[in-house]
Amino acid sequence: MTSQKTVMIIEDEADAAELFSEMMRLNGFRVIKMFSSGPAIPMISQEKPDVILLDIMMPDISGLEVLRYIRREPDLAAIPVIILSAKSMPGDIRTGLEAGASLYLTKPVGFMDLKNAVEKVLDSNVPE
């Protein structure tokens, strides 16, 4: 049993997904990349990743719908979800946080910002 944490990246833009994946691999994470929301939903249940990086603007199901699904499922509700989105208006951010995001980062996201955000949500998610 390895203590390597798993991050799932749900991002429809291949370049962005690859960039985030590389950032997470450099931090020692196992990475699962999903390019659309539909297939990601059963994969979340199957894999139960330690943290999810989620884009809101997806071609099939909105990232917000995926987030609401995660928060409704007792087995998944505790998984930290960090929204990575180009939508940077205060209302967009508020909507994301109200839907249950652990953090909301606006693109472009720098390496240290992403690393710090992931560490922050994982640290705050440690059971007492």
Q: Give me the residue spans of the domains in the chain.
A: 6-124
Q: What is the pLDDT of residues 53-95, one digit of tens each?
A: 999 999 999 999 999 999 999 999 999 999 999 999 999 999 9
14 token code pair:
């291949």
Specify burial of residue 74 (Cβ count, 10 A radius: 0-12, 13-18, 19+): exposed
Q: If pLDDT is split at 50, 70 and 90, which confidence band does 2 have? A: low
From residue 119, alpha-carbon distances to 26, 125, 127 in Å are: 13, 10, 15
**CA distances (Å), 8 to each of 48, 83, 88, 90, 92, in order?**
9, 12, 22, 26, 22
Pairing status of strand 30-34 against strand 81-85 = unpaired
Whole-model pTM?
Answer: 0.94
pLDDT tens for residues 87-117?
A: 999 999 999 999 999 999 999 999 999 999 9
CA distance 49 to 83: 15
C-alpha atoms less than 13 angstroms from C-alpha of 99 in its C-beta half-sphere: 23
The CATH code of the domain at 6-124 is 3.40.50.2300
